[in-house]
Copies of this chain bind each other. A is one copy, B any other.
Amino acid sequence: MSKEFPYTLTPPSKIINEVSRIANISIEEECIETNQKLLSRYSSKDVVAVMDIPPYDRALVDGYACRSQDILYASAESPVVLKLVDKDVINEGECKELNTGDKVPQGADIVVPREYTLRNEDNVLVYNSLPPNYGIGLRGEDIRKGEVIIRRGERIRPWHIALASAQGFKCIYVYKLPRAIVFSTGMELLEPGEPYRDGMIYDSTRRLVLSYLKWMGFDVSDGGRVSDDIYMIEKMFRKLLSEYDIIFSTGGTSIGERDYTVKALKRLKPEYIVHGFAIKPGRPGAIAVVNGKIIIALSGFPVAALSELDLVFKPLIEKLLNIRIDYPKIMGRLTRRIPSQPGITELYRVRIWIQNGEHFIEPLRLTGSGVLSTLIKGNAFLIVPEDSTGFEEGEKVEVHLVSW
């Protein structure tokens, strides 16, 4: 029961190619200290290990470093007696006391755990024979100098920070994401917190877009609301073009008489403009490149706007910055058939659940691009590609996990 959208619908792949070719937005990097501030940023360069980790052979136990051949015949009945020394080089018949993590002295190839020994003033009795390298973490066994520890475009996780720290890096290069702003259009909109008035709706789409972009890592600004007035919307776009690289509007993208957003967009004389995406939901969206900057006019319906973000904006920004914002991909069996129209990329909200060790994927039945409840009832997106006629019941499909 969705509206017929009369314009030509352009596939996301074509839009992404054209916009990324024409757009000219500043893509900057910055070196961020290897602490919490680095978390969830996107690396802008491969990070290569500059040293072996561990940087030297180190003790994995508290005990005594010695030569394996010296204790080859040690046993409970006939312990070997070693001379306790405190030197950087161990010779035949000698041992050195080490704590866990200490550097193993030259000449030693074993650290005998303290519980296999008895200390007797300046001598140590060893009661066990052990294989070479016992009790030792070998230099470079974790990371070798020259290995890539963070790939370009990867989102920084706690362990990336740990590895970069272990390499002694003070900071790591990451992208400054383009400056983005979102404003909404619509006379029927109320701001949350305002008293409710009949015939109005609270603006949820702008907040959905703002928080979705923040969740992707954008430091996105809230541009507030503009009236359904072609000149006000045009003025807003012009003002924001001087300050932001990416501008999002919500609402007014359809073909009704109050749908002024796309008309305003056209008055900016864009280098490139598409009105009508070959996606479902989200067909009425528009995208334009104006003075090299990107303007995306999203639908006013929240789920349509989310679909436009996910199927058009996300792959576009991934391509422009060479980053990966991927959700985890999971396979599961469809609990019912999903038909799809070829030529249209479709985004289904689905619920994935486990039964008897199998993943099942249930497409949520609710229709309508405004239906927010499917987003809290679902936990994943199923994307039906452009060329597909859909999937059968019981078929194994891949979904993108967005929450669980």
Q: Give A302 to B163 CA distance when docked, in angstroms.
A: 10
CA distance A150 to B214 in the complex (A): 20
A191-232 Cβ-contact flags toward B at 8 Å (1 or 0)? 011101011011111011011101100001010000000000
The number of chain A residues touching the other chain, given as a range, is 35 or more
Q: Which of B60, B171, B396 makes the CB contact (< 8 A) with A357?
A: B396
- A34 lies within 8 A of chain B by Cβ: yes
B331 in contact with A211 (CB, 8 Å): no
The reply to whether the CB of A83 lies closer than 8 angstroms to some CB of chain B is no
User: Are A100 and B192 touching (Cβ within 8 A)?
Assistant: no
Bound form: Cα–Cα A165–B1 in Å: 25
B39 touches A208 (CB 8 A): no
Contact B115 A372 (CB under 8 A): no
State whether B196 touches A51 (Cβ < 8 A): yes
Q: Determine whether the beta carbon of A368 is less than 8 Å from that of B331.
A: no
Q: Check if A280 is an interface residue, CB within 8 A of chain B.
A: no
User: For residue A98, which residue of chain B has the nearest CB?
Assistant: B256
Known contacts A38-B211, A330-B330, A357-B331: does B372 contact A201 (CB below 8 Å)?
Answer: no
A193 and B168: CB pair below 8 A?
A: yes
Which residues of chain B are near A398, meaning CB under 8 Å?
A: 354
Pick out which of these stretches binds chain B: A2-10, A233-241, A311-319, A340-348: A2-10
Q: By DSSP majority rule, is chain A's interface helix, strand, loop, or mixed?
A: loop
User: Which A residues, 53 to 100, have Cβ-Cβ distances below 8 Å to chain B?
Assistant: 53-56, 60-62, 99-100
Q: Does A162 contact B (CB under 8 A)?
A: yes
Q: Which of these binds chain B: A120-128, A141-149, A264-272? A: A141-149
Check A168 against B142 for contact (C-beta < 8 Å): no
CB pair B328 A404 closer than 8 Å: yes
Please, how many angstroms separate the alpha-carbon atoms of A62 and B203 in the complex? 20
**Do residues B101 and A188 form an inter-chain contact, with CB atoms below 8 A?**
yes
- Candidates B56, B199, B402; contact of A103 at CB < 8 Å: B199
Q: Are B212 and A55 in contact (CB under 8 A)?
A: no
Binary contact readout A149-168 vs B (1 if CB under 8 angstroms, 0 otherwise): 11000000111111111111
Q: How far is the CB of A380 from chain B (nearest CB, A)?
A: 9
Complex: chain B residue closest to A210, CB-CB: B36
Select A3's contact among B60, B103, B404, beta carbons within 8 Å. Answer: B60
Please, how many angstroms separate the alpha-carbon atoms of A169 and B142 in the complex? Answer: 50
Contact B113 A4 (CB under 8 A): yes
- Asked if B115 and A6 sit within 8 Å, CB to CB, the answer is yes
Task: Evaluate contact between B35 and A207: CB separation under 8 angstroms.
Answer: yes
The chain B residue sitting closest to A208, CB to CB, is: B162
Nearest CB of B to A211, in Å: 4
- How many whole Å from A170's CB to the nearest CB in chain B? 3
Q: For residue A366, which residues in chain B have a CB less than 8 angstroms away from its CB?
A: 141-142
Which residues of B have CB within 8 Å of A169?
192-193
A residues contacting B by CB (< 8 A) are 1-4, 6, 34-36, 38-40, 51, 53-56, 60-62, 99-103, 113, 115, 134-135, 137, 141-143, 149-150, 157-171, 186, 188, 190, 192-194, 196, 198-199, 201-205, 207-208, 210-212, 214-215, 220, 222, 254-259, 300-302, 306, 326-331, 354, 357-359, 366, 368, 370-373, 375-376, 396, 398, 401-404
The 9 closest A-B pairs by CB, nearest first: A170-B193, A159-B375, A162-B208, A166-B204, A99-B256, A158-B211, A328-B404, A62-B256, A357-B396
